[in-house]
Amino acid sequence: MASYEPSQETLDNVAFSNFGYYAVVAFLGYEYFITLDMEVALFWKKHTTGAGILFFFNRYYTLLWAVAEAATPYYTSPKRFAFYDCARTVHRSLTVTT
């Protein structure tokens, strides 16, 4: 099997993309932090409902996925990238958009 060596341009594009992704994760974390008081007042102190479960799943699953993806190194192997692409597709299908 032939080896895969990414070009310098590809590596630069990956680094640039990662910097943008880190900014998005930081913004998402900041938004979660500043709205936590409203979340506590509106969801944590009330009886659990289906809407509340969907809210928590959408809010925290997205945050956990974003942090995990930011902490994961970019895959340069085609076989690993195929697995990563499959996992990303599953994530998109599980995320509830509101």
Residue 72 lies in a domain: yes
Residues spanned by the domain of 67 = 8-94
90 HSE (CA, 13 A, CB side): 7
pLDDT grade for 84, boundaries at 50, 70 and 90: low
Residue type, 94: L
Q: Is 83 within a domain?
A: yes
pLDDT value for 98: 47
In whole angstroms, what is the distance from residue 94 CA to residue 57 CA? 10
Is 88 inside a domain boundary? yes
pTM metric for this prediction? 0.57
Highest mean pLDDT among 5-19, 27-41, 78-92: 27-41
The residues, any chain, with a CB within 8 Å of residue 77's CB and separated by 6 or more, are 4
32 with 66: CB under 8 angstroms?
no
Overall number of domains in the chain: 1
Q: Is residue 51 part of a domain?
A: yes
What are the φ and ψ backbone dihedral angles of 34, each rounded to 5 degrees? -75, -15
Which of 2-11, 46-55, 86-95 has the highest mean predicted lDDT (pLDDT)?
46-55
For residues 73 and 84, the answer to whether their CB atoms sit within 8 Å is no
